Amino acid sequence: MAGESIAVVGAGLLGRLLAWKLLARGCQVTLFERGSRAGERSAARVAASMLAPYTEVASAERRVFDWGLMALRWWPEQIALLQAESGRQIAHAVDGSVVVAHDLDKSTLQHFMQQLQAVVPEHLERVQRLDRAQLTALEPELAQRYGEGLYLPDEGYLDNTALLAALETAISAAGGQWREHTEVAELAPQRLRVGGDWQPFDCVLDCRGTGAKGQLAGLRAVRGEVLWLHAPEVQLSRPVRLMHPRYKLYVSPRPQQRYVIGATEIESESMAPVTVRSSLELLSALYSLHSGFAEATVEHAWAHCRPAMPDNLPVVRAERGLLQVNGLYRHGYLLSPHVVEAALEAFDRRCIG
């Protein structure tokens, strides 16, 4: 609705996407962020930002898969728009991912196929078994160590650093107001409090991720750790998963031979730096995947928490003057397209007017 004053609390993934969309409709948007607009206090910046409906549904509900397929169509369209508006390039691709396992762990590939058979049987034909020659054609450096694997053509990734920066530029260009280093102490329908001052708005959007704990019943934080590497001796062009009975590892590519390595998943709300144990587990598994990572440099070791509801599914709650959107858990980039569209619909129906 044009002209409505909207406060977006939390400029992580959801806050930025919703602010960008509402500005396009002519709303006056103010973003409140306890960190800076660089996003250093958000899970969104830490994430590997893989778009992996097949590998994620193995341990999630069917809905995650269906919403994830929608994301594979949504992101390329929205990224094209965002690139045009911001003048920034955002590396992204939906040209598949590769799954491998060491000889001793080959049964994990079979187990993964059985999980898919149980949840998405009609999509199993999209999963391709690879022999060494086929693996060589897709990811030649993996074929030196692995004689077989799986190819999941309907998976991809995007460069989250570039995406968050492009959203910041597009939001500012569209007239969005940034209140950085501003922690919102309390929020309610049509108002929020910073320090001792209540400020009125037509609608408040609560996009605080784990910061909403206490106000959203059942919300919990699930710790994750990632390493950001520069690996000049490694050339992988698509996301890769190593299936292992204990250490599940993924590698998400970034431009200029950079890779995001992840991720631990720990039922803890600790935001402490990455531990030695997690680094050892991630890096040992990584070296076993590709020895070229031995000479890589660790550019960042980041820990953050994923916001999760008891059923690990997202939540959109709307009432007049207040929209709460949360619970993206480990699928933020995969599910935000569906959640943003659902939130905008709820906003129109319930929040304003």
Ligand X SMILES: Cc1cc2nc3c(=O)[nH]c(=O)nc-3n(C[C@H](O)[C@H](O)[C@H](O)COP(=O)(O)OP(=O)(O)OC[C@H]3O[C@@H](n4cnc5c(N)ncnc54)[C@H](O)[C@@H]3O)c2cc1C
219 binds ligand X (CB under 6 A): no
Region of 3-11, 20-28, 90-98, 166-174 interacting with ligand X (CB under 6 A): 3-11
- Which residues in the 182-201 window bind ligand X by CB under 6 A? 183-184
CA distances (Å), origin 225, targets 154, 190, 246: 26, 36, 16
Cβ-proximal residues to 36 (8 Å cutoff; 6+ apart), any chain: 180, 181
The whole-angstrom separation of Cα 293 and Cα 258 is 11
Q: Closest residue to ligand X, Cβ-based? A: 12
CB closer to ligand X, 40 vs 345: 40
263 binds ligand X (CB under 6 A): yes
226 binds ligand X (CB under 6 A): yes
33 binds ligand X (CB under 6 A): yes
- Which residues in the 62-101 window bind ligand X by CB under 6 A? none
Cβ pair 58, 112 in contact under 8 A: yes
- Which residues in the 306-325 window bind ligand X by CB under 6 A? 306-307
List the one residue out of 253, 277, 245, 254 whose CA is nearest residue 264: 277
User: By CB under 6 A, how many residues form the interface with ligand X?
Assistant: 42
Smallest gap from residue 275 Cβ to ligand X (A): 13
Smallest gap from residue 11 Cβ to ligand X (A): 5
Q: Select the residue interacting with ligand X from 96, 149, 209, 253 (CB under 6 A).
A: 209
| 259-296 per-residue burial string, b: 16 or more CB within 10 A, e: under 16 | bbbbbbebeeeeeeebbeebbebbbebbeebbebbeeb
Q: Select the residue interacting with ligand X from 21, 34, 102, 191 (CB under 6 A).
A: 34
Q: Select the residue interacting with ligand X from 20, 32, 54, 151 (CB under 6 A).
A: 32
Residue 192 exposure: Cα atoms within 13 Å on the Cβ side: 26
Cβ pair 302, 261 in contact under 8 A: no
CA distances (Å), origin 291, targets 118, 130, 236, 249, 280: 35, 21, 13, 15, 15
Chain contacts with ligand X (rule: CB under 6 A): 9-15, 32-35, 39, 41-44, 46-50, 183-184, 207-209, 211, 224, 226, 262-263, 304, 306-307, 326, 328-334
